[in-house]
Amino acid sequence: MKLLDRLFHFIETLPPSDRLILKILLVCCVVTFLWVVAFISMRFSVEVPEQGGAITEGIIGTPRFINPLLAVSAADKDMSALMYAGLMRLSPEGILVPDLAESLTISDDGLTYNVVLKQDLEFHDGAPLTSDDALFTISRIQDPSLKSPLRGTWEGVVIEKISDLEFNFVLKQAYAPFIEYLTVGIIPKHIWENATIEELPFSEYNSEPIGSGPYILKSISRNRSGIPDSYTLTPFSNYHGERPHLDKLTLIFYQNENELVAALNEGIVDSAASISSEGIDKIFSAPNADKRHTLYRTPLPRTFAVFFNQNENPLFRDAAVRKALNTAVDRAHIVEEAIGGYGTSINGPLPPGFGFENTNTATGSPLENIENARTILREGGWKINETTGLWEKKDGTDVRQLTFSIATANTPLFETTAEILRNTWSELGIPVDVKKFEQTDLTQTVIRPRKYDALLFGTEVGRELNFYSFWHSSQRNDPGLNVALYASLTTDATLTETRIEKDFEKRRVYYEQFAEEMKEDMPALFLFVPEFTYIAPSNTHNISFKGLAKPSERFSQIETWYKDTENVWTLFTSN
């Protein structure tokens, strides 16, 4: 202090002109110092997500089983995805990477999957997560008494414990898509082991779950009947991955889409998934909606097609008929009318966005396509009967008339698509009878016994593109899913290779070969791939979707979502 006092005294003794010069120099030094600090801060700092913020999401339906083993509804699966973690998870690049697993090693013969868990894993209640929990989870799935919807995917898989952190899955035969099943959430053995199979579906832990996912249950709001109408989640402090940036998630449940759309427009919720095109239009037609909401879109690994049953209707054995029907269809019109433009038209089995480009190369106008289809029929020996107006073709002494029926579900998407097809083919001169069924009736009385001329249906091939179940000849009869009853030795061999080849890049060759075989044989008329849609608040960042196989996987990277940013010096960041 004495030194400062002397300095100030010295300054006071200086002449006024000298004091002015000294003050100017002091100001310059201060400004220079501040400039240097600012420069260093800018040079050596980075912008990082700031901790905090919240999202309120609306979901249609009420969760009943927030339990990966029993989850069926969208609400069940969404909540399970937030609160449970699996051995594998979806990465931002759209591929599966280890989650609870530290490593996954597949044997050369593709039969053994060795899993080593990360150390110090915990459940939300602080209990350790070990091999015993993983093995317990799968054993419950495999128990036929539980009737888990996942049981079919784990049937015949043997589990071998090696240590508390290591175990093997052993398959009867190589199956490359098996890795997809390792995303199932692991449940805590110490919580569930005392519940009998009969008691398990009625446990309170189905509504008050304890998992190991990024978010933990904070509170539940219930209505007068005791049914949950909202859940509040907060970050799990001992989560094995990156701590979530968002401090709170609130999930509010609605009975139908109209209620959810109204809640979005009123600002009660600020995000929602899988809203119909009509609902999206209502949301974004509201004032300033584009400033409040951002719409995300990404294709799903689902293909919608018309499957020809050549066994039931011999007309489809005629290549000219199949080709003409395919040529006449305006897929872009179907995408626009049936799903509001939220999809991609295709003319082959490979869904775009999963390692393949769009295969739809149709460029003709609807009128040109109809005329080209007529030419194909004429060249195939078909002629219009001037009296009946029907296409006819002589088959020995018999005369075949070109008319058939389509079976489909009585939902808006299928009804609209079927009506467009019927009108298109009617314009071509082919009468088509559309038969609509309740989903259960369609499955039990039509699909399972294979009683249909043609079937308008959707197939979920999954991220690993499991075409085997839908096109291998061994799957022609129920419970197989080869609803076109397609049989080809060449295709069988190709599809077998897709099941055993571990490397996707090598499988890609077989997938493309399979697509060419489909194009040549045309056992089905491929129409479109639907898109997953997600409405999120515009002030939430780092939301991206790639490789989604199901809507609940939108939360795969939720811990990286954030509202605001801050500047931090590089040495204080971990990355």
* Contact assessment for residue 214 and residue 226, using Cβ atoms and an 8 Å cutoff: no
Position 311 confidence tier, pLDDT thresholds 50, 70, 90: very high
Confidence at 472, pLDDT banded by 50, 70, 90: very high
Tell me the sheet residues that pair with 407: 435, 455
**Percentage of the chain lying above the pLDDT 70 cut:** 90
Whole-model pTM? 0.86
Instruction: Judge whether residue 270 has pLDDT over 80.
Output: yes
- Classify 302-531 by CATH class: alpha beta
Q: Which two tokens stand for residue 517?
A: 């075989």
Closest CA to 296 of 57, 531, 535: 535
Rounded to whole angstroms, the Cα distance separating 228 from 63 reads 8
Helix (H) or strand (E) holding 475: none
Residue 284, φ and ψ in degrees, nearest 5: -85, 0
Mean pLDDT of 230-234: 98
Which sign, positive or negative, has the C-alpha torsion 375, 376, 382, 388?
Answer: negative
CA–CA distance, 202 with 469 (Å, rounded to integer) = 34
Residue among 223, 236, 221, 228 nearest 207 (CA): 228
Per-residue pLDDT of 503-562, as tens digits, reads: 888 999 999 999 999 999 999 999 999 999 999 999 999 998 988 999 999 999 999 999
pLDDT tens digits, 36-53 = 656 555 565 566 678 899
Give the 3-state secondary structure of residue 413.
Answer: helix
CATH code of the domain made up of 54-255+539-572: 3.40.190.10
Q: Residue 34 has what pLDDT?
A: 65
pLDDT at position 50 = 80
Q: State pLDDT tens for residues 141-174.
A: 999 999 999 998 999 999 999 999 999 999 999 9
94: left (phi over 0), alpha (psi -120 to 50) or beta: left
The residues spanned by each domain of the chain are: 54-255+539-572, 302-531
Q: Residue 291 pLDDT more than 90?
A: no
Q: Which residue has the higher pLDDT, 222 or 564?
A: 222
pLDDT at position 11 is 61
The answer to whether domain 54-255+539-572 and domain 302-531 are alike in fold is no
| CA dihedral sign of residues 347, 350, 351, 354 | negative
pLDDT at residue 43 in the model: 60
